[in-house]
Homo-oligomer: A and B are copies of this chain.
């Protein structure tokens, strides 16, 4: 028997070993410890409990659970693609994080020609990884592991460049990553799936469905994401009240979108029943919609409204927009990332801009200039001196007005969407190279081409066949 077209025997090891050797070489040449991990930096005035690890690690641990267990279980919802959803997520995430450490290190943590490493880099890299995993959702079940790795290989640098441009030149506020993470990931993923369009899948696919167990597993993934999302949205905010608000708003937003999801799921179903796909996805919309303004003084009620809006937009997207995009625009968005990350991301950005326009010293006190660092007065401005009497650590800013800051946010939204969609389309063309072992249409949503599967893996299917046969015989 000759080699299967999807055999990974040569291609996957070749790719992985080359990247591993490259990574080791780059680590050896360019990566070193940062001041919180290097033993030499500890002096007799260093209090070990002041080490940054105690601020960062709890959030990192929560995000780890989201990335590996949350996404892993959530993506395992196909009946015959449970291994694929969970295991390719594991592989892709591990690869993306390592790669992001290097690429983000080059752009953001580069001093004296060295990348300085601590747990904070891992958090940043897991954010980049989340971007890749969201995009993965658009092509779930239709790609080989090699294609996913290539996607990660290309997406991480495009993301890192976008992030660097937006943060360094446009200097925006985006604590929960609504612009940089959700919008970027969404439009990149849509770009990829647009190029990988498979016309035959629009007519439905025999394996494109769930089983009782896979639906339950996927809800567990949702719950892991739901439970730890406050950590995700607050991991990179300022410490103190900012982080506290971010946690509170995320929780409120998620709660509101969850109730909305249940209400709309029953309302839009012709039998008045709940649909598991809605429970798995729409409940999470509030975590995205509060993102861009998550650390601001938007008030708990506004967080609640954002959650409701997110749930509604996401639900309507699943019901009406996704089929339309698939039929008319060749965008087969497998997990509906456009609903959960795109529409909600746009709502979030709009809300963030409103929150920025309304932010003033009356509501925030002098800490306004800590949250909106670029609105702090420029060096030399007497107002800066005055503020520094109140907040000694305040850094000079750019003296932006609220309106200026809002315009930069708008610019960031458009440039992020543009760069990500372009990057996604180009990546899609790269993934079409035959070497990357794309599964045939019939092999989609199926573990069998890529895994040694136990004999019972498709038993529910066979079972219903069996029952059907007997029914017809009776």
| Residues on A facing B (Cβ under 8 Å) | 3-4, 6-10, 12-13, 16-17, 19-20, 23-24, 27-28, 31-33, 36-44, 46-49, 51-53, 55, 57-58, 61-62, 64-65, 68-69, 72-73, 76, 79, 82-83, 86-87, 90-91, 94-95, 97-98, 117-119, 122, 145, 209-213, 215-217, 219-220, 223-224, 226-228, 230-231, 238-245, 247-248, 251-252, 255-256, 258-260, 262-264, 266-267, 269, 271-276, 279, 283, 297, 299-301, 304-305, 308, 363-365, 367-368, 371, 389-392, 449-457, 459-464, 466-467, 469-470
Q: Of B17, B262, B456, which one neighbours A263 at CB under 8 angstroms?
A: B17
Residue ID in chain B nearest A254 by CB atoms: B94
Given contacts A48-B239, A86-B220, A119-B244, 18 further A-B pairs with CB under 8 A are: A7-B272, A7-B273, A9-B266, A12-B263, A53-B240, A68-B227, A69-B223, A79-B456, A83-B219, A94-B258, A94-B259, A118-B248, A212-B459, A273-B449, A274-B451, A463-B463, A463-B466, A466-B470
Answer whether A61 and B241 are a contact pair too, CB < 8 Å, given A87-B279, A94-B255: no
A448 to B105, CA, bound (A): 52
Decide if the interface of chain A is mainly helix, strand, loop or mixed.
helix
Expressed in whole angstroms, the Cα–Cα distance for A451 and B266 within the complex equals 9
Contact in complex: B9, A241 (CB < 8 Å): no
Give the 10 A-B CB pairs with smallest separation, nearest first.
Answer: A48-B240, A9-B272, A7-B272, A456-B460, A16-B263, A28-B301, A27-B301, A8-B266, A53-B244, A40-B365
Q: Which residue of B lies closest to A219 (CB)?
A: B86
Q: What residues on B are CB-neighbors of A9 within 8 Å?
A: 266-267, 269, 271-272
Q: Are A72 and B223 in contact (CB under 8 A)?
A: yes
| B217 x A216 contact (CB < 8 A) | yes
- Please, which residues of chain B bring their CB within 8 A of the CB of A79? 454, 456
| B24 touching A241, Cβ below 8 Å | no
Say whether, besides A267-B9, A300-B27, A455 and B464 are in contact (CB < 8 Å): yes
Q: Would B20 and A251 count as touching, CB distance under 8 A?
A: no
Choose from B7, B371, B469 the contact partner of A39 (Cβ within 8 Å): B371
Expressed in whole angstroms, the minimum distance between the Cβ of A132 and any Cβ of chain B is: 14
Q: How far, in angstroms, from A464 to B454 measured CA to CA in the complex?
A: 11
Q: Is the CB of B31 within 8 A of A271?
A: no
Which residues of B are found within 8 Å of A16, using beta-carbon distances?
Answer: 259-260, 262-263
What are 14 inter-chain pairs, A to B, with CB distance below 8 A?
A16-B262, A16-B263, A23-B256, A28-B301, A38-B297, A40-B363, A42-B240, A64-B227, A68-B226, A72-B223, A90-B283, A145-B274, A455-B460, A462-B463
